[in-house]
Structure 1
Amino acid sequence: MARRPAFAVLLAIAAWAGAGAPALAHPHVFVTARAEILYAPDGAVRALKHIWSFDEAYSAYITQGLDKNGDGKLTPDELAELAKVNVESLPDVGFFTTAKANGKPQEFGTPTGAGLVFENKILTLTYTLPLKTPAHANRSFGIEIGDPTYFVAFEIVDAPDAVITRDAPKGCIVRVARPPKLDPAIQQKLAQEDITATPDMTGLQVTTRALVACP
């Protein structure tokens, strides 16, 4: 069964294409991301905090008509409903996130603290994704972020704060493993896929992994 894309992407792209916009290829949306791994006082991992910034074109399209007072600015209040819709759609795609504690897959609870900010033409979604059960990751805690279908292209920022821990036990170290750049021939092939196609991503790595190792 095909997964329903998050971020109201499908609705937005269908409307855009129907309005006479040029055909879109894969990926349809680009996201620049950061992540925080949040620990409880007892040393258990309790949640992840995602900070996702969308590309300028998608940010402009998806926010059309949301400036209710016509002052030329988008406030968090004006973006609140869009944030709610975005986050409510994320379970359909597994939050674009997987997590393992000591190698054991973890389940997620209901997201909290969702909010959108529009600054410098970029729309940024921030939300906290709790683990269903806090995990005592005595050896390691790993996450994987991205869309394996490449409908949404995630890029974890190349910066020291790309993936960080909050209140982790002393001595814990974060290591980030980004996917290799796609071969130009593969990029060209994906660019030729039409809006409704699901490309064959077999054997391709397009997600970013991060591992917290603790002493």
Structure 2
Amino acid sequence: MIATTSLQRMIGALAALLAAVGSASAHPHVFAEARLDVVLSADHQSVKALRHLWRFDELFSSTVLMQFDKNSDLKLDDAELKDVADTIFSSLAEYDYFQLVTVDGKDVHMNAPSQVMTNFDNDQLIVLFESEPATPIKLAGTIDFGVYDPTFYTAIDFTEDANMAVEGLPSTCTRKVIRPDPDTAIAQNQKTLTDAFFNDPTGTDMSKIFATKLELTCKP
């Protein structure tokens, strides 16, 4: 059975989980389908919050169930689900909760969510949380939103474009979902990827170049 500390790293999508058993990882081992809702302010002129929902694969979900089912009844009660949520909350903090938010190519600081909620549905772990930018993001220029794991340990996928949503977008803005082609992304970032690897071969944040993004383009 996987040790609890290793599971925490697993939930945090840390490649260190494999390092702990003497291995290295360059591809995902945990998979999740995601939905992202961009919440606008009341006047629809700025981004107020991001709402995330992640549905994890059955294999990883069963590992979580085995590890956190303290009374061995093959389900997670409210207290056990809170333990899972607290573990995810602490594990993802140093990774900004896998969020990618930029305005005209510059990173935007997102506050930590007030809480992470978890549930089980059809034998799959569901994770939900909401985060807010440190300051509201005005709808101007090019704004990108995405989810990625900098360690490459977790693959979080938006299976349909509609799963990256924003309601009430003003007519001065357009939206599109960008799904980078891996070969093209590598070719376009070859030097940066090479330099990043030799500077830190244990891992970089360059996996964000492969992330599916919701891009808003807004005129002033």
TM category, shorter: 0.7 to 0.9
1:200–1:45 Cα change, 3 Å: closer
Measure the CA separation in 1 of the matches of 2:107 and 2:78. Answer: 34
Deviation at 1:121, TM superposition (A): 1.1
Measure the CA separation in 1 of the matches of 2:25 and 2:54. Answer: 21
138, 148, 152: which is aligned to 1:136?
Answer: 138
Deviation at 1:51, TM superposition (A): 0.6
Q: What SS class does the counterpart of residue 169 from structure 1 fall into? A: coil
Contact kept, 8 Å, 2:118 with 2:125, in 1: the verdict is: yes
157, 160, 171: which is aligned to 2:159?
Answer: 157
Equivalence for 2:39? 38
Contact kept, 8 Å, 2:13 with 2:154, in 1: the verdict is: no
Equivalence for 1:66? 68
Measure the CA separation in 1 of the matches of 2:207 and 2:53. Answer: 28
Deviation at 1:62, TM superposition (A): 1.4
Contact kept, 8 Å, 1:5 with 1:92, in 2: the verdict is: no
Equivalence for 2:210? 206
Higher helix share: 2
Where does structure 1 lack aligned partners over 5 or more consecutive residues? Answer: 184-196
Contact kept, 8 Å, 2:173 with 2:216, in 1: the verdict is: yes
Deviation at 1:144, TM superposition (A): 2.5
Contact kept, 8 Å, 1:76 with 1:115, in 2: the verdict is: no
Contact kept, 8 Å, 1:32 with 1:155, in 2: the verdict is: yes
38, 46, 49: which is aligned to 1:47?
Answer: 49
- Quote the sequence identity (%): 28
Greater RCO (CA < 8 Å, at least 6 residues apart): 1
> What is the root-mean-square deviation of aligned Cα atoms in Å?
3.6
1:150–1:119 Cα change, 3 Å: same
1:24–1:48 Cα change, 3 Å: same
Where does structure 2 lack aligned partners over 5 or more consecutive residues? Answer: 1-7, 185-200
TM-score, length of structure 1 as denominator length: 0.72
Q: What SS class does the counterpart of residue 109 from structure 1 fall into? A: coil
Measure the CA separation in 2 of the matches of 1:199 and 1:67. Answer: 32
1:139–1:6 Cα change, 3 Å: farther
Letter of the aligned partner of 1:124 in structure 2?
I
